[in-house]
Structure formats: C-alpha cells, structure tokens
C-alpha cells in the first residue's frame, strides 16, 4: 500500500478499519508535503498497532515529530510486532527521538533493515544511543543505511565500537557524510571494527566522505584483513594518486576477497592502476568502477586490457565511463583483450567523447570477426551490454547492437552457431566452399550442428540444391 499525505485522517481511518491480517507493506513517503505534521504521523502510526502482519514500513520524509516517534516506539514495544524493514529517512530526527527508539529496539529481534539517512540533526549523542541497539545481543539487524548525515569522529567511534561486537550486520552505508568531517581518528575506529573477528560485514559504502590519504591509510588495515567484505564503495573522495598507490600495494598479498569495488571520480593514475591489477583482489573482483579518473592515461588502460586477457580474471562488469583519455586506441586494446575473455558481460563507456566509429568497429569485430568461420567461432560470445551513452547510434556499426543481443539471448555455443549461419552460410547465398573441403568424418557432424532449427534447414536445403555432390555416398565412401 502506498499512501499520500492529502487525507491523513482518511488514511488513519482506513488503516483502523482494514483487514488487519492482510497489510504487509506500507509506504508513506510524503516528500515533506506542507500538509503533513507530527499529528499526522502520530495518527497513522497509532492506527498500525493492530496490524500484526506488517513487515515493511516506509516513513521517509513524513514529518514525524516527537509524538510520532513516541507512537513508533510504542508500536515496536508490542511483542507481536513483526516489522523487519523500517525507513525513517529525511525526518529531522533528533538525538532524543533516536534515543527513545533505540531503547525499544534493544529488546527487538525482528528488525533486519533500518534506514536513518538524511537526518542531519542527529549528533554523537544520538549515535551513541543507537550503538546500544547495535551491541544488543537481541539485535538481528542486517542492513543499516546512514548516508547523508553529519557523523563526526565521536559519532563514528560510538558506532564502530558497537559494531565491533555485532555479529549480524552485513551492509553498512555511510556514504555522503562529507559534512561530518571525519578524520583519521574516526577512520581508525572503523578500521578496528573491520578487524573484529566476529564481524560479518559484506558491503561498506564510504563514498563522498572527504576521505583523505591519512584516513585511507588507517582504514586499509581493516580492509585488507576483512575476509567477508565483498563490496566496497570509495567513490568521489579526496585521496591523492600516491594514496591510492599505497592502498593498492597493501592489497597485493591481502586476505581480502572483494568482488565489487567502486572507485569512480577519484585521482587514480597509471601507476595506481598497475598496482591494482597486480594485487590479489584483481582476481576476485567481479565488478570494477574506474569512471572519471582523469589521471589514468594510455598506459593505465593497457593494464586493464592485460587484466582482461588473463584467464583468471573474474570481472563481469567494468565501468570506464567519463574518462577523457579513453580514445580509439584504448578501445582497440580493450577489444583485442576481450576476444578471448569469457566472463565480462557489461562494459560501460558512456560519455567518452574521444571514441569514434573506429573504436566502436573494433568492439563489433571482437563480437564477430567475419574473416573466416574459425575466427567467427572463436569471437567473443559473452559480452552482452555495452553502455555507450549515445543518444543516437550514428557512430555505432550497424551490427553492433544486434551482435550484443545475440550474445544476450543464447548460450555461447548457440551464439557462435547463429553468427556463423548469419555471416558465412546465409549472407549472399550459401557458401558451398565451406563444406567442399571438409573431411568425410567431420561433414555429418557439421551438418547436424547446423541443422538444429528452421534457419539451419534452409542452409542444408540450399546446400543440397547448389552442391548435391557433397551428398554422394559413393564419392565419399
């Protein structure tokens, strides 16, 4: 159920009278409408008290004041409350309001997801109150979203110290906390949490945090030793090229098993990329974002190409968008590396204005080299998505989009078959020469491989018409 703020009494009345065994999800995102008030929030939340099957409650930008928060605390005090997902983003929550809620949550073992984003009135005292819930043995919280707040060193230390004892949290989003001015002191506390032997954290977002070299240096100790962390977002921070090189060198022989690393909008240079490619995580990563790193030049992009050539490269998604130094030569190097790559599914290259038809053609040839049946068979049948960002596709080869679709909609073996049929056996008539010189033992296998569907039947029929001698059993005996 999604409700709007125009008729709060009607909504509360409807909730009071509705079937209280059917409501599982309620979204009251009001976008700070001028018609909402603390009374509105109080009436709505009070009306929910009998809905014992409610699992998900979204109250983003709902203007909940002290009365509303008191009603919310009362709702969670009910032992029958089954709410697992609570969104209180953008509600001007104060330290007092968070403290009241946290006291109730310490006795709750149902809540799995909690969002307190965009509540910049919360200070270190409020985060300290929340920490009591995080360290509670009753806590079953898995996902905590605290983005767009003003967490400072004290707040970070309170949260990190509590999380060091927490065994359930898997996702922690601290992005867009650039107003909190966290220094190396706060990052050191977070690093200690990451080194906790009981931590089960799998995803950490530290984007847009004004994280500098000193902060990354102390944080690195936790990152390199955390074996369960799979996703790390460090987009748009203030780390220097030297800071990145130092970080990647620390990862060279780490126990980290990161699978998704977001590094867009940073100051990584060629040496940094080389150090990243040489680190142990280069061969555990499945998603890598290097968008808008303007210090990376041709040498750095060649390092990425070399990574893609390696048989132990696990990358499935690579984002190289918005990089001024990516031109046709770079794309040709990437295309050459992708010929033998059997894992990369998505390549993002949007807003790289230096790429022309020449670069896009190189990618098209990687998907289907038409020079012979053998090389077509050995072309790339894995890449499925190419984010080129071109509103019109005038710069793209005519068959690039269709080849990507062909890769997407079939198995690799079937894709190879369709490309051979399309570009060698059907285009401009049947290519009889492809069959004439085949060994007798190979010929039946080739025909069986081709004749799997109506398109293949068409090839065999035309072949019989144009080269009946191939089917002469006496000749081939």
Q: Which of 311, 405, 410, 425 is nearest to 364 (CA)?
A: 405
- Pick 142 or 443 by higher pLDDT: 142
Cβ contact 156:188 at 8 Å: no
Q: Mapping DSSP to helix (H, G, I), strand (E, B) and coil, where does residue 474 land?
A: coil
Cβ contact 214:242 at 8 Å: no
Cβ contact 91:67 at 8 Å: no
Most confident of 74-83, 261-270, 391-400, 453-462: 261-270
Q: What pLDDT is attached to residue 303?
A: 98
State how far the Cα of 116 lies from the Cα of 225, in Å rounded to an integer.
28
pLDDT digits (tens, 9 = 90+) for 360-395: 999 999 999 998 888 999 999 999 999 987 655 566
State how far the Cα of 49 lies from the Cα of 12, in Å rounded to an integer.
11
Q: Mapping DSSP to helix (H, G, I), strand (E, B) and coil, where does residue 274 land?
A: helix
pLDDT digits (tens, 9 = 90+) for 399-443: 999 999 999 998 998 899 888 888 887 776 666 666 666 676 666
Q: To 10 degrees, what angle do helices 124-134 and 153-163 make?
A: 0
Q: Which residues of 145-171 are buried (b: 16+ CB within 10 A; e: fewer)?
A: bbbbbbbbbbbbbbbbbbbbbbebbbb
Cβ contact 352:322 at 8 Å: yes
β-sheet bridge partners, residue 87: 58, 115
């Amino acid at each position: 159920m999604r409700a709007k703020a125009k008729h709060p009494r009607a909504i509360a009345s409807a909730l009071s009278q509705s079937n209280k065994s059917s409501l599982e999800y309620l979204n009251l995102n009001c976008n700070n409408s001028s018609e909402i008030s603390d009374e509105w929030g109080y009436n709505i939340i009070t009306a929910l008290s009998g809905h014992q099957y409610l699992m998900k409650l979204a109250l983003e930008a709902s203007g909940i004041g002290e009365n509303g928060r008191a009603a919310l605390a009362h709702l969670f005090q009910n032992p029958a409350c089954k709410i697992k997902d609570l969104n209180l983003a953008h509600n001007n929550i104060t330290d007092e309001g968070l403290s009241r809620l946290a006291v109730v949550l310490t006795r709750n073992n149902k809540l799995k997801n909690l969002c307190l984003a965009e509540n910049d009135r919360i200070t270190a005292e409020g985060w300290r109150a929340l920490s009591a819930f995080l360290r509670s043995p009753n806590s079953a919280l898995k996902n905590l979203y605290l983005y767009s707040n003003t967490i400072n060193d004290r707040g970070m230390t309170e949260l990190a110290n509590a999380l060091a004892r927490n065994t359930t949290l898997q996702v922690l989003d601290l992005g867009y906390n650039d107003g909190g001015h966290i220094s190396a002191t706060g990052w050191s506390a977070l690093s200690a949490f990451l080194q906790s032997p009981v931590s089960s954290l799998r995803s950490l977002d530290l984007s847009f945090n004004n994280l500098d070299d000193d902060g990354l240096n102390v944080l690195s100790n936790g990152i390199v030793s955390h074996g369960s962390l799979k996703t790390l977002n460090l987009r748009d921070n203030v780390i220097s090229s030297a800071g990145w090189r130092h970080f990647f060198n620390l990862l060279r022989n780490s126990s980290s098993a990161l699978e998704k690393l977001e590094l867009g909008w940073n100051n990584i240079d060629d040496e940094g990329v080389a150090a990243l490619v040489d680190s142990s995580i280069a061969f555990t990563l499945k998603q890598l974002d290097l968008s808008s790193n303007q210090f990376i030049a041709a040498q750095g992009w060649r390092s990425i190409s070399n990574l893609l050539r390696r048989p132990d490269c696990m990358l499935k998604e690579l984002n190289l968008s918005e990089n001024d130094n990516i031109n046709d030569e770079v794309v040709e190097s990437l295309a050459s590396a992708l010929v033998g790559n059997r894992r990369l599914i998505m390549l993002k290259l949007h807003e790289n204005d230096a790429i022309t038809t020449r670069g896009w053609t190189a990618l098209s040839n990687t998907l289907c080299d038409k020079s012979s049946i053998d090389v077509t068979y050995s072309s790339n049948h894995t890449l499925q998505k190419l984010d080129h960002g071109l509103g019109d596709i005038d710069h793209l080869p005519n068959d690039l989009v269709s080849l990507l679709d062909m890769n997407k909609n079939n198995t690799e073996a079937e894709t190879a078959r369709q490309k051979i049929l399309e570009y060698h056996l059907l285009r401009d008539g049947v290519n009889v020469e492809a069959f004439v010189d085949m060994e007798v033992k190979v010929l039946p296998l080739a025909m069986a491989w081709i004749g799997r569907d109506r398109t293949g039947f068409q090839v065999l029929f035309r072949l019989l018409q144009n080269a009946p001698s191939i089917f002469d059993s006496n000749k081939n005996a």
